[in-house]
Amino acid sequence: MQQEAQSEPRDTFFCNVCKKNKKNTMNPGVLFGALVLVLMAAAAESHILTLRTSTAAASDSSDTLTVQIYSDTCTQCDRISGNGVIISTWDYTFAASNFGSPRKLLLSISGRDWLKLDWIEIYNAYTRRTFRFYIYGDGLSTDPSDPPGPGSGAVPRLSVDLNECARGTDNCHVHASCTNTNGGFSCSCDAGYTGNGVTCRAVQCPTLSAPASLVLSSTSATSYRDVVRFTCNQGYAGLVGASSTTCRSDGTWSSSVPTCNDVNECGANNGQGPCDANNGICQNSEGSYSCWCTTGFELKEDQHGCTDTDECLDNGGRGPCDHICTDILGSYRCSCRDGYDMRADGYSCVDADDCRSNPCENGATCLDGNGNYTCQCPSGFKGDTCEFAPCSEDFPPPEHGSATCAGISTGGQFCTVACEAQHEFACRPADGYSCDEAGQWHELGRSSCPARLTENAPWPDCSRAYLGGIWPRMKSEVNFYFDGDCQSNVAHIIEMFNRLFNTLDGAANSGSGTCNVENINVACGNTVRSSANDRSGPGFVVQFDVVAVSTLPADQITEVDQTDMMYLLGYIAYEIQDKIYFGEFIMNIDGRSAEAASFVMTSPPTFEADCQDGQMAVVEDFSAYCLDCPRGTFKPADNTTCVKCDYQEFQDEEGQSSCKSCPAGTNAVFRGAKDITDCTAQCVGDEAPCADCHLVSGSFRCKCAEGWAGSSDGLVCGRDDDLDSFSDVSILCGNETCIMDNCPGIHNPDQLDMDADGKGDDCDEDIDGDGVLNDQDNCPLIPNPEQIDSDGDGVGSMCDNCVSTPNPDQANSDDTEPGDACEAALDEVIAKSCENQPDGTFRPHPYDCSMYVRCHQDGHDAVFSCPGGTRWSQELLTCASSDQVTCD
């Protein structure tokens, strides 16, 4: 009751934390006069206020309790003025008996209002007192100005425990669990993570590695609960152990890595496995297998099957054989060309006696050759075996032409050739061709054909000639008297001259042709003279071209028409001169007369032929035409005539500017091949490759063409671009050894190779093979890897003709050792060069003996000078003499 009598203001407390650090709040009990106020933390969405009293009320009395919850905006902990906002109010009326023992009242604050608590006011209707309790973050009120609590003198306190976990104000790791506690919280890492809860790191299991027999579903899985599955790799089977393992929370795997057993793939099919059943060999290996093939077979691309090896592919189709290789299943068979016998080794061929079967006829003499024979025919016969009469092997007539032949009394034939209409010879043929009793052809009369164009026939071929569009041109000029202004009237002069020219009879269409004037040019300021009337005066010169053109269609033009046009130009020249003579070649220029004084033909009438690619221009005195180059020839851009295709080429079309290449590995047997069938890989009897074939005494013989080199029989040839008679590439030459050029591209017929390294001296950067390049070697022709230069003159001691005295010029006037630089001191050096020692030995004097000491014939005493090509060795104390003895 004493409390009721007290007139005590509403309790006021000060905020010293004000919700800034709610993580340190506690669940306190607060003494409220005779009441104890407890704010208990419950579920995340509610709090419970528990009010207790120890003061007994009358059993029949009742009490009313009003509880109000305020929210304030205290952020800087200033004194709270009490102007907070009421956010919840509860009124309770109860009898004293309702309190129970101990007497208490439980109030539940639902929702999230408890998060907004700043202070609570409780009005007790029984005592008519109002108490205000401020919420402190740490649950304590330490301000000395805090008023005492009602009745007891204690400081009223109200502390609330805030759930940092629910509010998200904890500092637990993202992979940790937060547990609220009375006045705080605790953190613990989640499963699969380790740490203090504030810091957590993922549990990592060690990286798994597996033997070749296993396949892992993942090689990067190391995190908690990661699962790695195991399967047997190809070539293995029978998993021994667990098929999977899991990363546990303690960083270990749930099971160890299993193993698998090797599968023997070769066990099936009688040990052949998946390999070729007929010619295969299966070899098992750990986790795999390999297929092989028996001799004579090779693996297919699938690496299982076997296919026959064609041993004959290499060496130009000869394989390991000298002459002819025939592939058979799993092997090959060698044979020899006619005229050769097989050696015992089964692949080499040796020349046989080809004349033993008497192959020649009609009394011919058989001459055995290298794998062939030659018949030396008697007079009147020819051919491989002398079976034919002379000239019976007639050449075909010219293409697009004809050959008219008749026998002659001395034996043989006489032929003349001609071309079809609209066709001409590429060169002028001879008047006739005769074949003598020996079968040799000869030209009679003049011929403009070079030998290279008649190599495979005595006469040239004909090809299409085009006369249309090719006309004669005459360049001329006329001198005119004129005392007017020439410079200002040049255009008018040209116009009037053109009109004057067209008045000529020759300029008019005469039925067969007409003349046109072109390229008119006027030269002013000339002094014009005339010998006809002995007159001179000022004037000008008109320069012009006259072209005679036929009126006939181009494909109907003949040489006669071209000749007519040439005569027409002559008529024009005559007509102009005639009119000048009679004073009738006059023009009116700007009201003034311009009279012709003289006519000059500056260039006689000539044909100008502008031919197409693959055509040659043929210009004669009274005709001209463009001629397609015949088959077997071509017209180079920088040449005026047709040229025959080389041995590696052919041309089966007329009018071409280049030749076509023979297929790889083939050549024509003559220049000027006209068809691809002329390109063959064989020369004689379709048996042997031949770079260049020639008709000799009725039979073919091979020789390597210019730019090629190889075997003596000409059957095997390689490129020889430097023309030193050695093939630039490695070739197999049968019974003989073909040496490859040791300096391809450099002409070196002597093939010198000082250091025997296979590279010729002409292209060897280190001729003496001492490891020092020529341009850096002080003795490039003598091996001296140490590069010793005793006198420092830039010439190595191994080749210096005066080692003790610098002499870079190596002067040696008497052409004997030593050099001139050492001649002056020679006597002194000889006396001191060596000192004989007991037992016939000697040692060098302190002077350098390297140029002056050699061994005597007896092998003991030293005599003057080491021989050429040798040097005294200071290390060995010896040198080799000319008779190869050394001092002992």
What is the model's pLDDT at position 405?
83
Give which of 403, 424, 423, 425 is closest to 415, Cα–Cα. Answer: 403
Residues 6 or more apart whose Cβ sits within 8 Å of residue 7? none
Residues of the chain falling short of pLDDT 50: 1-48, 50-60, 73-82, 96, 99, 101-104, 106, 110-116, 136-159, 452, 454, 682-691, 693-700, 827-870, 872-888
**Token digits for 136?**
């402190």
What is the model's pLDDT at position 576?
93
Residue with structure tokens 């007409």?
A: 514
What is the model's pLDDT at position 67?
64
- What secondary structure, in 3-state letters, does 569-581 show? HHHHHHHHHHHHH
Q: What pTM does this model have?
A: 0.37
From CA 322, how far away is CA 336, in angstroms rounded? Answer: 7
Domains and CATH numbers, the chain: 2-162 (2.60.40.1930), 214-263 (2.10.70.10), 268-308 (2.10.25), 314-351 (2.10.25.10), 353-388 (2.10.25.10), 401-467+613-703 (no CATH), 472-607 (3.30.70)
What is the model's pLDDT at position 439?
65
Write out pLDDT tens, residues 563-590: 888 888 888 999 999 999 999 999 999 8
Rg of the chain over Cα atoms, rounded to whole angstroms, equals 62
Q: What is the enclosing helix (H) or strand (E) of 695?
A: strand 693-696
What is the model's pLDDT at position 655?
92
Omega within 30 of 0 (cis) for the link into 102? yes
From CA 550, how far away is CA 563, in angstroms rounded? Answer: 10
**Token digits for 174?**
């993202």
Instruction: Indicate the burial class of 89 (C-beta count within 10 angstroms; 0-12, 13-18, 19 or more).
Output: exposed
